[in-house]
Amino acid sequence: MALTILSFSAFIFSVVLFFYLPNKLFVEAGNGGFTVELIHRDSPRSPFYNPSDSLSDRVIQAVHRSNSRIDYFRISSKPSSVSPTSVRSEVVPNGGSYLMSLSIGTPPVEMLAIADTGSDLIWTQCNPCDGCYQQEAPLFDPVESSTYRNISCQSNSCQSLPQSSCSVSRSCDYSYSYGDQSFTNGVLASETLTFDSTERSTVKIPKIAFGCGHNNAGTFDSHGAGLVGLGGGPLSLISQLGSSIEGKFSYCLVPLQENTTSSQLNFGDTAVVSGSNVVSTPLISKDPNTFYYLTLEVIEFGEKNVKLPGGNGNIIIDSGTTLTYLETSVYDEFSSALKESINLKPAQDPSQTFDTCYEAGQEASLPDMTFRFTGANLILKPLNTFIQVSEGVVCLALMPMQDFSIFGNIAQQNFKVGYDLVGKKVSFAPTDCTKN
């Protein structure tokens, strides 16, 4: 197979809300929904863009974000851890963060949000702010919105929070923390979310629960205004949209080298993955319900195969983690077998981050790999399993991890990946996402 390699940064662990950027967002209406162009954190139009970063810089930053996210999964996965129509929204890959457009409140305040399948709570910094991190955009002001309502501490939404309490006014005070010690404290409230289209039509979703944060700190950037999640928990955007999208959403991630083309994040009818080349595997219910668990049975390449232990739900599929992680003993067996099967000159990763690297040009031959999930044989091309870390050097985009495994976003590129929470399955269709 001809090798197509890309350098790719991770979705960060959070889903960060951004206020309106100077560039006008492109929005395209579609049948039964709408489409929004999204901007990536490393795009020249992004407030995160750093033109002085090299290819190697971006890869290393992506790995650091990915490893930080693993800490979040490790902490959150412990049982004791505290932790009306179809809608289609576009996603643009420009270094690892995928932002979706939405507005909050009435009148609507336009924001961008990094879509993240590994977290639930939607929140933004709010006035009055007793302890907020520095933020370039104005804080959301509940007093200015006619649809803002505090949520009662007796409500199901409040009870869904790991840590909540009743204020003097009987509203729901929340405390929400992340694996890197970042946190948000505030009041749980409800608001109207609005999705705009270029056809001058809008989709308004009323009474969405979100955190109005009055005390927030940690690793948040001044460009960001908060976080939102697409996980499986009751407070995620997916769960709150509920029957209006019939429990369905999907995405199609464009490779970074095609950064002039938008990816897509779909909800409802437009999220259905269909066709003769579709394969599906069961979603496994486990705790915590934020994460999406699959069962990976075997990895095959050439005449080699590596079996995965752990039974049902032994791997998390996550659009917010850059790399794919395998439990350490499995990774060691996999890496050893892979090195035996590849006839290329080994190379050193300049950053000393990756342990399996090769000198390779565009015509280099690397193997396809088959990830055999229960009921779904997924053939991954080299662009899904290797990344370019510097000129002429490519490295395996998999790493070892203690305790659990994660199927990351590099492995998911150029697939339409559909989640059906009612039918309890995830479907994959090989797709040229640049033409989607």
Q: Catalytic positions, please?
A: 116, 318
Burial code (b: 16+ CB inside 10 Å, e: under 16) for 405-417 equals bbbbbbbbbbbbb
Question: Token pair for residue 369?
Answer: 């790999």
Question: Token pair for residue 159?
Answer: 């009870």
Q: Which of 242, 297, 249, 252 is nearest to 269 (CA)?
A: 249
Question: Token pair for residue 270?
Answer: 């437009």
Query: Can you list the alpha helix ranges (DSSP code H) found in 124-276?
Result: 156-159, 237-241
Question: Token pair for residue 57?
Answer: 């810089």
Q: How many Cβ atoms are within 10 Å of 308's Cβ, its own excluded?
A: 21
Strand partners of residue 246: none
How many Å apart are CA 109 and CA 17, to the nearest integer?
11
Q: Which H or E element spans position 186?
A: strand 183-196
How many Å apart are CA 31 and CA 413, to the nearest integer?
25
How many Å apart are CA 284 and CA 173, to the nearest integer?
32
Torsion, Cα 137 138 139 140, to 10 degrees, reads -110
Give the rounded distance of the alpha carbon of 153 from its chain centre: 30
Q: Which of 197, 29, 195 is nearest to 104 (CA)?
A: 195
Q: Using an 8 Å Cβ cutoff, are 5 and 387 in contact?
A: yes
How many Å apart are CA 334 and CA 194, to the nearest integer?
46
- Coil, strand or helix: which one is 254? coil
**Which DSSP symbol is given to 33?**
E
Strand partners of residue 177: 183
